[in-house]
Structure 1
Amino acid sequence: MKSIYIASNTKNAGSLLITTGMMDIISRKIHKIGFFKPIISNQKKTDPDIEFIRSRYNIDIPYEECYGFDIPYIEMMIAKESTDELLEELITKYKSLEEKYDFIVCLGIQRPFLKQSFDFDINIKIAQNFASSYIDVINAKDMELSDIVESAAINKHSITSQKCFHFATFINRIDESIYSELKKEIQDENVFFLQEIKELDTPTIGDIIDNLQAKPIVLDFHDRSRLVKQIKVAALTLDNFLDRIEDGDLVVVPADRSEIIVGLICAAESSSFAKISGIIMPFNMQLHTNVLKLIEGIKSFHIPIISVDTDTYTTVKNIDATKATLKASDERKIALSLGLFNQNVDINRIESRIELKSSDVMTPMMFEYKIFYMAKKEKKKIVLPESEDDRILRAAEIVLRNDLADIILLGDEIVVRQRSLQLGIDISKAKIIDPLQSEKAEAYAHSFYQLRKAKGISLEAAKDTMHNKTYFATMMVHSGDVDAMVSGASHTTAETIRPALQIIKTSPDVTIVSSLFFICLETEVLIYADCAVNENPTAEELAQIAISTAKTALRFGIEPRIAMLSYSTGDSGSGEDVQKVRQATEIVKQREPSLLVEGPIQYDAAIDKDVAKKKLPGSKVAGEANIFIFPDLNTGNNIYKAVQRSTGAIAIGPVLQGLNKPVNDLSRGCSVVDIVNTVAITAIQAGQTS
């Protein structure tokens, strides 16, 4: 199978959602994926679906090559009875992509957009000529159960009767009241059922800005993904209007109603009022300088404020007409979409029907999809103790929506929930535990006392220690109440590792905790260790780092080929530092004879095949290494940062190894994406150690 064609006969069926889910599945194993939309609305306007797919999946196809023709041209050709000529032109465009890419995903046109009444289904006809397998998407919103069943049967018959391979049917936007019954009615393993999720059909601040061409006045990067659930016009006095605001409101208010705007800012900070999504000001009026000064002085939180040229009535009408879209920048909606897709679709069945075979190439995106897939299979409980950090809350939402892990946050539940509402995010599925109020605190304190009493700690001191969220979280891991911990967004590495060393301790076969980074280059993933923990390891410790790293690599499906790095290759050099690496290499070979390891070896000989042939001919590792063990922290930390910054590589880590149970450290400069990736990796580690 070289291509899949996805289409629906109705509007708003969610074909782009299904396309995104299929792209994710295929992207895990295939490097060169193409995207083609045979028919677009108008070639004078940029097609949002094409731009979304190109941006999200880093597809290097020029925009003009991603589509065939626009609707006016298609209708003209069909009216002229030049269907065969039209199909030949489409096939020519499609084939030029097929020659360059290993797999093509095609997205068809929704038939209601075509004015002509054809005596054939144009999507099926195109798919048939592309030799593409066909995915039918049914919009079940407001449909009766019997009508859905009938539509699925008719569509499948229509596809197969025209000698087109029916790959699957996705029934989307199913009402919860008929979901279970519908699954009983249709007993077909190639039919997948997705419930209606209101948020996916709810516009965001970003949608409003784009549709109304609004000007941002106060806008954070994350504000564009805030949902706009209702529209409220501030036509009352402040004391009456505040009683009427609800979570998710977009408030339309002129800029000269300063008392309303200031009141809404205060309401956002108060726990007594709902949290609006934003403020939109008509007439292109400017905020009073003192109001702007007030807003700029509030460092903890800002309500997004935008302005438009139109009057109040027209503004409300334009907001109401704004449709929800899926944008590559909206990780929240993408996570929700993919969470819905993955929870309801048999991924293994999809893969087996396409007969996907893994590529030798591993791009950063392929690696990310791979770790997400592995994490979902494990579905572990991960505790995040730093709930006071907004990045942690945003990452927790994405993890939950992607169904990567169950999340436990530490902190005052009222405060954490309040902050999530202020940020416009949904962490309702997260469990929140306050260490100061937890019924487990006493038991944890006694356990910690037993572990540390030989070091001189008193029971009272142990109880006080449990007020520290990092120690409390580590005790949760130790006691088996959670599977793993991720911390470090607002704490140092030492503050994260120290409790783990005192409580969880190292695995029986190692004496040190070490770290690694997954270095995701354009077409391969390398592993660097140790770049974050051990300053100047001995030969024995270096050997342990290498063995631990090899075991971690295997957990992530990477066959280890280890380079023990030095400034000398083979027997060409001498000195204390070289001897340490040589000795460490011998220890690895003795303890793990099945591992492919070479050392001492220089970086160029480890990674470059031509250099390897000259310096170490016949080596199974030289020129082919994928694990690089650095002789000390100074070298490792500098090299990983140099590679990351100079090549644009994505560095995922540090990932800690050697502990009895997984605890992972974040950089204090980490992004939301970094946290999500670390949680996924930690979940995979937890699955391997459980």
Structure 2
Amino acid sequence: MARSVYVTGIGRGDGRQVVELGVMELLTRRVDRVGIFRPLSHDDGPDRLFQLLRARYRLAQDPAGAVGVGYAEAARVQAERGTDELVELLVGRFHQVAADYEVVLVLGSDFHDTQLPDELALNARLANEFGAAVLPVVGGSGQDADSVAAEVSNALRAFTAQGCDVLAMIANRVPPEQAGRARELLEGRLGVPAWVLPEEPSLSAPTVAQVVQALDATVLEGDEAGLARNVLDFVFGGAMLPAFLPALTAGCLVVTPGDRADLIIGSLAAHSAGAPSIAGVLLTLDERPTRDVLALAARLAPGTPVLAVPGGSFPTAAELFTLEGKLTAATPRKAETALGLFELHVDAAELTERLSVSRGTRVTPMMFEHDLLERARSDRRHVVLPEGTEERVLRAAEVLLRRNVCDLTLLGDEGAIRRRAGELGLALGLDEVPETGAVARIVDPQTSPLRDTFAERYAQLRAHKGMTVELAHDVVADVSYFGTLMVAQGLADGMVSGATHSTAATIRPGFEVIRTSPGASIVSSVFFMCLADRVLVYGDCAVNPDPDAGQLADIAVQSAATAAAFGVEPRIAMLSYSTGTSGSGADVDKVRRATELVRELRPDLLVDGPIQYDAAVDPAVAAAKMPGSPVAGRATVLIFPDLNTGNNTYKAVQRSAGAVAIGPVLQGLRKPVNDLSRGALVPDIINTVAITAIQAQEATR
């Protein structure tokens, strides 16, 4: 039977969705097929958390099969036939799910209007009958550290008295000022691990879209990104503009009658200036600004929501103050925040070990991507992003910071970056210094004191090309050169660029400043091709147009090292249009000579060639064309004879086979610099930054 994890609470308001999401993240890192089962559910529409997990983790599970029974039916069965009958019914439905999955995440009841007596005991019994380990979550909202510790201890006793196998205890939503003391009171005193998660305001804050839905508001202005902003505060406008502006707070929703054009325009102008960035404006009394005012609003703060409701300020306020944010498939930023909170305060390695879930043999794209973030986070590094005002880079930066993947430096004009982040409603924590989490800062190459230092260094490095300090002063103001010099001087561990810059603009500074690592004759690249059940490494698909035999051998050796560094056992196939000795010609001879050179350089590596692609990856074809080869049919590192072949092949596999292509990842430089495609999506940037951080880790070992 599948190993199952039963996440449950002891009452309402514990915010355990954060823990359920975090546990799902851990499980999907280990196994491919994770099922979800909610024994008891409300019959009020789709299960929000299931929909979030299904979308985020690409689950194929039928929603109907993920639910046991509704609370009303459960109460009826329990009243008419007894608890044993209810438990037997739910156990049967659980096993229907467990039969199809390697592991099952069970979502306990929510203690809200359930009409079930002794709900804690029912959850405990179900966990025992399912053979599931229990992970109880205790809500600590508004409590001091002593109360939190006492409640956690009492909850542990309650579940162990029921015979449960308790994995750990988690206190959630603890006031931040009480969290440290609560950890001290719990550490090492329970016999099981106990972790404390502080309250995170942005998780309980509704989004603007949730305000729209709750109030049935009309959206006069605003885009999808604006509607996704968190509403962290409410500011009600009645005063004149000079007295009103100081009351604005970051992330607030301005609530004002619709005829106050001065407050509408003043709020949006303040937002545009980043002082502060607001969530939006809500107009009451069914008053609408004139078309000219709305047009000015749209120009001042593009994308910022302007909403309208028919009610007055008082009844609107009464509704607003009852709203609470929810984790749903429509709030992916909240999910990233929740995972970042979980990963920062829960010992993932210890919890994973206690889960006793063996890693599967298949490596899916999602598992590979999870592993990248986990490895980067384990030894946090500092990556510089030269394209600091680019929307995709800023969105990726928010995720990287919330997930504590790495520290970041954004290059560019500070005012422009802050304004752009504000327009997008992003929380980059630029003015915060968290004790343990990742941090971001902004550096403007035009005004930074480092510019003079970098100019002198660059002039020294390029003196043989006639470079002077005066000329270098202009060169290093370029963000790509400035970022590369930060890496070269040890002020950052790696750089990622290319979302708006060409490949040449990104990597040329690396050639000039960082230069090739010892033993590498050239800089080359690989793509990690994440197929449905494995990860292959393709090289070189981005840098060298027509390498000679020696360069091709160097690419193969570098690619094998990169593969090994990211957990892919290197078995190198030197690709050609001919397999073995069946063909001849200059192109085949080049690959044959390169194969010989790899064997001479690294006799410890498994390598074969020339070999055709099908013989390299298909065991049946390999048995016919190259029997007895240690590589044929099992190749993991595929080296293409030239850029034309490599680039077209990776794109064909990416588009036709639905593979996730991560890269290009540059190799051969002394310190990591990586290039992005100008069509890169936010997940591509996140993955590339994580890879860069891991390369930086490897460079210091």
TM-score interval for Structure 1 and Structure 2 normalised by the shorter chain:
over 0.9
Residue 12 (structure 2) aligns with: 11
Deviations 1:270-308 (A, max 9, x none): 35x43221133567777755455556667x833123455
Deviations 1:506-533 (A, max 9, x none): 0111111111111222222222211111
> Where do 1:165-180 residues align within 5 Å?
165-180=165-180
Residue 159 (structure 2) aligns with: 159
CA distance 1:283–1:618, shift in 2 (3 Å): farther
**1:268 equivalent among 246, 267, 271:** 271
Residue 208 (structure 1) aligns with: 211
CA distance 1:310–1:562, shift in 2 (3 Å): farther
CA distance 1:350–1:69, shift in 2 (3 Å): same
CA shift at 1:556, angstroms? Answer: 0.7
- Please give the TM-score of this superposition, normalised by the length of structure 1: 0.94
Conserved? CA contact 1:255–1:288, under 8 Å: no
More deviation, 260-269/438-447: 260-269
Residue 24 (structure 1) aligns with: 25
In 1, the alpha carbon distance for the partners of 2:652 and 2:541 equals 12
In 2, the alpha carbon distance for the partners of 1:413 and 1:490 equals 18
Deviations 1:588-622 (A, max 9, x none): 12211222222222222222222222222222222
Are 2:70 and 1:82 aligned? no
Conserved? CA contact 1:295–1:302, under 8 Å: no
> Where do 1:14-413 residues align within 5 Å?
14-42=15-43, 44-118=44-118, 121-188=121-188, 189-214=192-217, 216-235=219-238, 241-242=244-245, 244-252=247-255, 260-270=263-273, 273-281=275-283, 288-291=290-293, 293-294=295-296, 301-307=302-308, 314-413=315-414
CA shift at 1:144, angstroms? Answer: 3.3
Conserved? CA contact 2:526–2:540, under 8 Å: yes
Residue 629 (structure 2) aligns with: 619
Residue 611 (structure 2) aligns with: 601
SS of residue matched to 2:663: strand
In 1, the alpha carbon distance for the partners of 2:552 and 2:224 equals 43
Deviations 1:30-83 (A, max 9, x none): 1111111111111x5111111111111111110001110111111112222421
Gaps of 5+ in 2: 431-438
CA shift at 1:580, angstroms? Answer: 1.4
CA shift at 1:315, angstroms? Answer: 4.2
Conserved? CA contact 1:582–1:599, under 8 Å: yes
SS of residue matched to 1:614: helix
CA distance 1:357–1:118, shift in 2 (3 Å): closer
Deviations 1:149-178 (A, max 9, x none): 222222212212222111110011222333
Deviations 1:116-153 (A, max 9, x none): 43386211111111111011100111223333222222
SS of residue matched to 1:167: coil
Conserved? CA contact 2:225–2:303, under 8 Å: no
SS of residue matched to 1:36: strand
CA shift at 1:489, angstroms? Answer: 1.4
CA distance 1:119–1:183, shift in 2 (3 Å): closer
Residue 687 (structure 1) aligns with: 697
SS of residue matched to 2:446: coil
Residue 483 (structure 1) aligns with: 493
In 2, the alpha carbon distance for the partners of 1:119 and 1:624 equals 53
CA distance 1:646–1:261, shift in 2 (3 Å): farther
CA distance 1:140–1:513, shift in 2 (3 Å): same
More deviation, 213-222/378-387: 213-222
Aligned-partner residue type, residue 76 of structure 2: M
**1:446 equivalent among 442, 448, 456:** 456
Are 2:496 and 1:467 aligned? no
CA distance 1:252–1:655, shift in 2 (3 Å): same
CA shift at 1:241, angstroms? Answer: 4.6
Are 2:534 and 1:533 aligned? no
More deviation, 603-612/112-121: 112-121
CA shift at 1:217, angstroms? Answer: 4.4
Deviations 1:464-493 (A, max 9, x none): 222112111111111111111111112111
RMSD: 2.3
CA shift at 1:191, angstroms? Answer: 0.9
Deviations 1:368-388 (A, max 9, x none): 110000000120111112112
Conserved? CA contact 2:540–2:643, under 8 Å: yes
Deviations 1:508-565 (A, max 9, x none): 1111111111122222222221111111111111111111111011111110122222
In 2, the alpha carbon distance for the partners of 1:120 and 1:51 equals 25
CA shift at 1:186, angstroms? Answer: 1.7
In 1, the alpha carbon distance for the partners of 2:348 and 2:650 equals 35
In 2, the alpha carbon distance for the partners of 1:25 and 1:238 equals 50
In 2, the alpha carbon distance for the partners of 1:596 and 1:119 equals 59
Conserved? CA contact 2:340–2:404, under 8 Å: yes
More deviation, 606-615/531-540: 606-615
CA shift at 1:654, angstroms? Answer: 1.1
CA shift at 1:230, angstroms? Answer: 2.4
Deviations 1:622-655 (A, max 9, x none): 2222222111111211221222222332211111
**1:640 equivalent among 613, 635, 650:** 650
Conserved? CA contact 1:9–1:112, under 8 Å: no
Residue 527 (structure 2) aligns with: 517
Residue 557 (structure 2) aligns with: 547
Residue 639 (structure 2) aligns with: 629
CA distance 1:237–1:630, shift in 2 (3 Å): same
In 2, the alpha carbon distance for the partners of 1:517 and 1:376 equals 22
Aligned-partner residue type, residue 225 of structure 1: A
In 2, the alpha carbon distance for the partners of 1:119 and 1:414 equals 53
CA shift at 1:224, angstroms? Answer: 3.5
CA distance 1:87–1:199, shift in 2 (3 Å): same
CA distance 1:119–1:332, shift in 2 (3 Å): closer
In 1, the alpha carbon distance for the partners of 2:63 and 2:311 equals 33
Conserved? CA contact 2:111–2:119, under 8 Å: no
Are 2:653 and 1:653 aligned? no
Conserved? CA contact 1:331–1:398, under 8 Å: no
Residue 502 (structure 1) aligns with: 512
Aligned-partner residue type, residue 421 of structure 2: S
In 1, the alpha carbon distance for the partners of 2:101 and 2:309 equals 44
Aligned-partner residue type, residue 383 of structure 1: V
- Please give the TM-score of this superposition, normalised by the length of structure 2: 0.93
In 1, the alpha carbon distance for the partners of 2:388 and 2:5 equals 43
Conserved? CA contact 1:228–1:248, under 8 Å: yes
Aligned-partner residue type, residue 469 of structure 2: L
In 1, the alpha carbon distance for the partners of 2:517 and 2:129 equals 59
In 1, the alpha carbon distance for the partners of 2:528 and 2:288 equals 48
Aligned-partner residue type, residue 67 of structure 2: Y
SS of residue matched to 1:164: coil
In 2, the alpha carbon distance for the partners of 1:22 and 1:516 equals 32
CA shift at 1:92, angstroms? Answer: 1.0
Conserved? CA contact 2:10–2:120, under 8 Å: no
